[in-house]
Amino acid sequence: MQIFHGQYYNEMMKNIFWTGFCKKDRFISISEIEDIINKYGFIYDFKEFSDISISFIISVEEHKINELFIELNKQISLREFESINSPSINERIVFLNVTFLRGTGNFKVEIPAVPG
């Protein structure tokens, strides 16, 4: 087991928290967000909170974080973050919370009728 000390440990292990707002349709936006994330890393987990918001836990190599932010910011309005200029391939965790401005809090899942 490797033990990290001081600044190196703090920089390597820091989680990243992003908050975004979306004016577009929730279903289309979620699909676009997932496509972008999968281009740069992968989704560990996600949770939907009614039709108002969704949270993603994302794993991404450190050197891809800035590109991920730029691409996501084209689809949703993200709050600024301090860019990471690192060539490292170490995995970092990004917590992304997206609020849908068209959300009503009345989340319904359509279930198609099954014949029989």
Give the range among 6-10, 19-23, 60-64, 79-83 with minimum mean pLDDT. Answer: 6-10
Q: Which residues contact 30 (CB under 8 A, 6 or more apart)?
A: 54
- Residue 50: predicted pLDDT: 77
Phi, psi for residue 79 in degrees, rounded to 5: -70, 150
**Partners of 55 in the β-ladder:** 47, 97
Pairwise CA distance, residues 98 & 53, whole Å: 5
Q: Domain coordinates of the chain in residue numbers? A: 15-100
The 10 Å Cβ neighbour count of residue 90 is: 11
Residue type, 70: I
Query: What's the pLDDT band for 13 if we cut at 50, 70, 90?
Result: low
Mean pLDDT of the chain: 82
Helix (H, G, I), strand (E, B) or coil at 39: helix
- Residue 8: predicted pLDDT: 42
| Cβ–Cβ < 8 Å for 89, 59 | no
Pairwise CA distance, residues 69 & 18, whole Å: 9
Express each pLDDT in 40-90 by its tens digit. 999 999 998 877 789 999 999 999 999 999 999 999 999 888 888 889 899
Q: Which residues contact 10 (CB under 8 A, 6 or more apart)?
A: none
